[in-house]
Structure 1
Amino acid sequence: MVEVFLNRIATAVPRHEVHGAFRAFAAGQVTARDRALFARMDARAEIARRWSVLEPSEPEGSGTLCGFYRAGAAFPTTRARMARYEAEAPALADAALARLGFAAEASRVTHLVVATCTGFVAPFLDRHLVERHGVPRGVERTLVGFMGCQAAINALKTAWHIVRSDPGARVLVVSLELCTLHLQGSSALEQLLCFLLFADGCAAAIVSAEPAGLRMEGFSSVMLPEAAEMITWRIGDDGFDMTLSGLVPITLAHALPDWEKGMLDGLPAAEVDLWAVHPGGRSILDAVEHGLALHQGALAESRAVLRDHGNMSSATVMFVLAAMMRRAQAGQRGCALAFGPGLSAEAMRFRVA
């Protein structure tokens, strides 16, 4: 059996730090009834910084945000948001590839897998990467689209299958999300909380049979049919509409013990050294910690990524893995775990090479 490795990961964020501006804008839209609850949830979010392709050009607390959203007026159409995605995504991908040191090996890439759920344009990012970075024109391309925050795990799984079937393959995996293009205008608390959480980011990785980095040992998937509407992601006239139920954390906490055996191929959670969990929010991480009875500090990298970057949808778990690879020790076992629409979960088992 061919062994497959996640060799290395590089990450990039836009240059605009927007956490304060987004919080102030949302606070200005909260109804008097929800103001105290909103303030408590803001204080407990455990996010210090977030980054966006949108420049916060207006004073914090004004009725406009980044020249893109305006209180009391119609928010941008889906067409306008997709135009902004098309304009901004390539430069962010370029930044991640530069940090990956991609120029030295672009000609060796045989497969390209792109994951995103926040933008759809054709020709898309795959063509830009071929044209701009010298990837062979015969590269085999795959798009993992609209799978939400778990899409990076699906992209890595696709790369894993490719290398297992062709040991000479060298796969570039890119996960790029511009979540801040899809904020919705509403006084509803559920929508305003998105202004406290989501951000933009990109991760790029190399997957191959070269024995370096993380050995990818297997994947698992699970869906909760009774929770199908707890996380939804639908395309509307005014951007992409997300539903994120407040019941998600407690549902995960109760479901994870039943998932544990299949997710870890029979290994008890206590014997897993490294946990790269998608930080969908502080309450999600608390739920995973509780549901799997993890020791305090087990999700340190996930909490640090949440603090410094917020929730960047599918790219976020790659940021966690990148941070983990910098301190992991040879032989340690690990699990990457992310959640998405459904309610569903994707997991990747790995061992440090």
Structure 2
Amino acid sequence: MASADFVTPYINAIGTAVPSHDIHAAFIGWARERLPIAQRKLFDRMAARAAIGHRWSVLPEDAGSPVGDTGFYADTPHPGTAARMSLYAQAAPELALSAIERLRDQVPIDDATHLVVASCTGFVAPGIDQIIARQLSLSPAIERTLIGFMGCYAAVAALRTARHIVRSDPAARVLVVTVELSTLHLQAVDEIEPLLAMLQFGDGAAAAMVSAERRGLAIGQPFATTLAKSDRLIRWDITDAGFAMHLSGEVPGRIAAALADPVLVDAITAGQDATSIDGWAVHAGGRSILDAVEHGLSLDADALDDSRAVLVDNGNMSSATLMFVLARVLARSDVRRGVALAFGPGLAAEGFAFGPSA
């Protein structure tokens, strides 16, 4: 067998899953009523501009809206972190397993040698990696890695980890899972900026098989950078009432400014002209972020269509979002040169080049 230095890892297939409870409209109604009347028109305008049609939640449908009279967030104060983590421990593995079953429809998973799981919206021990492995009856000797609290670019970290594994062991078959339950962390705030930040997020899970089999998308060179003096712009703060998301309105502007740096652009595009890349998989962190990437890299108006479609259908599902975009790219047969790119806490940007199997 050839040296591992010459092995190319591939994303062979991706399965995705969202819950069945669409909570987007209910949240908008709840949020606007918390604001002073003078701010509601601005909120309505920003909510419409977000270009999100649906966001899905694991919170039970039989209780109606999560913010309704019988919903999870009906009482004041809202449930504490313990109650939210109890729900996470049950619902996160279940949603992850739904995505894995959709992956299983495309490729075998029982022979997985490694399991890499990324999640930042909950904690449980034994971890969801162990829960997933047990539910799937995977070998107890499977090597597990849990990537926690990295936020939206954790999918890159998970796939990069899988790439390193396959390059070091060409026989490896790495099951990569991302699962996020953002709707477990509603905060009872009355300010427009955090309400607009919460309006972005939904629940979702994705699963991929990464191996040396020449099938799917070849994972190329990864890249990563952290923008200076930006560490307060995207944060998760753990509180007694769940995880409080802080997403500054400055983020799109900082991304656009960073993309004016030719050194960073060269790292993202591997020195290629950005317009020569025909497969862009950009984390759908919000419409303004996608606009910043499109304008910052001078891309065609349709270059980020896959990302925008995921945003419309699901909102921002943190680490799972990029996997949903990659699944759309993988379903196409016309991509010759691609780039995956995600932003998250730090403010950091991470990604990798990808291409077709042939």
Provide the TM-score with structure 2 as the length reference: 0.94
CA distance in 1, matches of 2:234, 2:127: 26
User: How far apart, in 1, do the equivalents of 2:69 and 2:269 lie?
Assistant: 44
Q: Distance in 2 between matches of 1:15 and 1:107?
A: 27
1: distance between equivalents of 2:82 and 2:46? 32
Task: Give the Cα separation in 2 of the matches to 1:110 and 1:93.
Answer: 18
Distance 1:307 1:167 in 2: 38
For the Cα contact (< 8 Å) 1:148–1:340, is it kept in 2? yes
Q: How does 1:1-353 map to 2 (within 5 A)?
A: 1-55=6-60, 64=68, 67-70=71-74, 73-101=76-104, 105-258=108-261, 259-329=264-334, 332-353=336-357
Question: C-alpha separation between the residues in 1 aligned to 2:224 and 2:260?
Answer: 15
Shift of 1:169: 0.5
Q: How big is the shift at 1:37?
A: 1.3
Q: Which runs of 4+ in 1 moved over 2 A?
A: 55-60, 62-66, 102-107
RMSD of aligned C-alpha atoms?
Answer: 1.7
Q: Please state how far the C-alpha of 1:17 moved relative to its aligned partner.
A: 1.3
What SS does the corresponding residue of 1:283 show, helix, strand or coil?
helix
Task: Give the number of aligned pairs.
Answer: 350
Cα offset for 1:190?
1.6
Distance 2:69 2:121 in 1: 19
Deviation of 1:329 (Å): 2.2
Aligned-partner Cα distance in 2 for 1:203–1:149: 13
Indicate the SS of the match to 1:67. coil
Shift of 1:105: 2.9
Distance 1:207 1:45, change over 3 A: same
TM normalised by structure 1 equals 0.95
Q: Deviations over 1:80-105 (max 9, x none)?
A: 11001012112111211111116973
For residues 300 and 124 of structure 2, the distance between their equivalents in structure 1, rounded to whole angstroms, comes to 43
How many percent identity over aligned positions? 51
Q: Displacement of 1:66 after TM fit?
A: 6.5
Following superposition, the deviation at residue 134 of structure 1 comes to 2.1
Change (3 A) 1:113 1:102: farther
Instruction: Give the distance between the partners of 2:109 and 2:47, measured in 1 at CA.
Output: 43
Task: Name stretches of at least 5 consecutive residues in structure 2 with no aligned partner.
Answer: 1-5
Segments of 5+ residues of structure 1 without an aligned counterpart are none
CA distance in 2, matches of 1:102, 1:109: 15
Deviation string 1:262-284 (CA, Å, 9 cap, x unpaired) is: 12221121111111011111111
Q: What CA deviation, in whole Å up to 9, does each residue of 1:287-337 have, x standing for no partner?
A: 00010100010000100000001110000010000011111326x100011
Residue 49 (structure 1) shift: 1.2
Kept after mapping to 2: 8 A contact 1:183/1:194: no
Equivalent residue of 1:219, what SS?
Answer: strand
Which digits, 9 at most, give the CA deviation of each residue in 1:200-225, with x for residues without a partner? 00000000000110001110001012
In structure 2, what residue type is equivalent to 1:7? N
The structure-2 alpha-carbon separation of the partners of 1:129 and 1:116, relative to structure 1 and needing over 3 Å to count, comes to: same
Q: Distance in 1 between matches of 2:21 and 2:99?
A: 16
Structure 1 residues 161-213: Cα deviation after superposition (integer angstroms, max 9, x where no partner): 00001111100000000000011111011221134211000000000000110
Displacement after TM superposition at 1:27 (Å):
1.5
Structure 2: distance between partners of 1:54 and 1:45 = 23
